[in-house]
Structure 1
Amino acid sequence: MTATPSPARKAVVRPFERRDVGAVLALMRALAVFEGYDDEFRVTEADIVDHGLGPSPRFGVFVAEVDGVIVGIAVHYLIPWTYDLKPVVVLKELYVAEAARGKSVGRALVERLRDHATSIGASAIKWTVLHSNMPAKAFYRSLDGRADDTWELWKLTIDG
C-alpha cells in the first residue's frame, strides 16, 4: 500500500474491495461525463463485481482514500505479454474527484500502479489521453510520461 502526503491529509491508495464498488462506479460515471460519453455508459455495480472481483478478474482498480472517502480511481488491466515476453499494464481510467485535485491523489494512484507494474515485471504502462485534455498531458509529463511517437490510436467500431 502506498501513501502520499497532501497538504492537510494523506491519500491512501489500495486495491479495491467489494465495499468500494459503489464509489468506483460513481467515479467511473463522473469520468464518462467529463469525457463526454455518459450517454453510452452502461457499467453497473454487478459488472464491476463480476469482472473486477470475480474468480478471474479482467481488470483491477486502485482506489485513493482521503479521510476514509474514496476520491480517485486507477482502473487497469494487463496485456499478458507482447514481443518481449513481458506484460504491459494498461491504465484504462484515471480519475480524481474535482474536490481532491491538486492534492497529489493522481500522483499517488499512478505511483501505486507503477509499483504494481514493477512487481509483475511489466515493460511499460500505457494509456490514452483526450487530445483536448491539456491538464492531463501536463500531469503525465510531470511523471515522466510521454506521448508515443511510434504508434497512433486506431479503432474499428463494431455495431451490435
Structure 2
Amino acid sequence: MIRHATSADVPVIHAMVRELADYEKALDEARATEEQLREALFGERPAAFAHIAEDDTTGEPVGFALWFLNFSTWRGVHGIYLEDLYVRPAARGAGHGKALLTELARICVARGYERLEWSVLDWNEPSIDFYRALGARAQDEWTVYRLTDGALGALGSAG
C-alpha cells in the first residue's frame, strides 16, 4: 500500500534517509534533522512531499519516496524530481519500489506534468536495472554539478 506521508512518519522517514545514505556510502553527509524534514514536508510552505510504502500484512513502513516539483522551460510545465526512493532491504522484491514510482507517475499524468526525473549512482547496478525495466532512460549526455559547503559559501559571498 502506498499513502501520503504524515507528520507522524517523520521519524521513520529520517531513519530511512540515514539507511539510504549509509547504503550510498555517504552517511556522514546525511545531516538533516527530523525537525528540518518536518518543516520541509509539513511546514507553513512545504518544499517537498513524501509517500510511504507499507507492508501489506503488518502495515509497517518499509519504504518511501521524497520528491519536489521542478519546471521544464522546454516543455513549459512542472515535473517531479524524485530526491529519494528507498525500500528497506528485507522488503525489496515485493513491488514497493515500483508501487512508489507508479504513484508518482500517476500524479504526473493526473496533473499534466511531463517529466519524472531522478539521479542514481553509477555503481548502483540493481537500481539501474530496475529503472531500465520500467522504461526509464539514462540521461548520459548530462553531468550533474553541485556546489556545497565552502565552494557554495565562497561563490555566494562573492561581491
- TM-score after normalising by structure 2: 0.88
Gaps of at least 5 residues in structure 2 are 154-159
Question: For the pair shown, which has the larger CA radius of gyration, 1 or 2?
Answer: 2
1:156 alignment partner in structure 2:
147
Q: In structure 1, what residue type is equivalent to 2:27?
A: D
User: 2:36 is matched with which residue?
Assistant: 47
- Report how far residue 23 of structure 1 moved: 0.8
Counterpart check, 1:72 vs 2:60? no
Size of the alignment, in residue pairs?
A: 149
> 2:94 matched to 1:103?
yes
CA contact (8 A) 2:66 2:85 kept: yes
Partner of 1:35: 24
CA distance in 1, matches of 2:146, 2:137: 21
Could you tell me how far 1:81 is from its partner in structure 2?
4.4
Give me the whole-angstrom Cα distance separating, in 1, the residues matched to 2:90 and 2:140. 34
Give the superposed CA RMSD.
Answer: 1.3
Cα offsets for 1:87-134 (capped at 9, x unmatched): 021011100000000100100010011111112211111111101000
Q: What is the deviation of 1:82?
A: 2.3
Report percent identity of matched pairs: 35
Gaps of 5+ in 1: 1-11
Higher helix fraction (1 or 2): 2
1:114 correspondence with 2:69: no
Alignment of 1:137-148 (within 5 A): 137-148=128-139
3-state SS of the aligned residue for 2:35? helix
Shift >3 Å, 4+ stretches: none
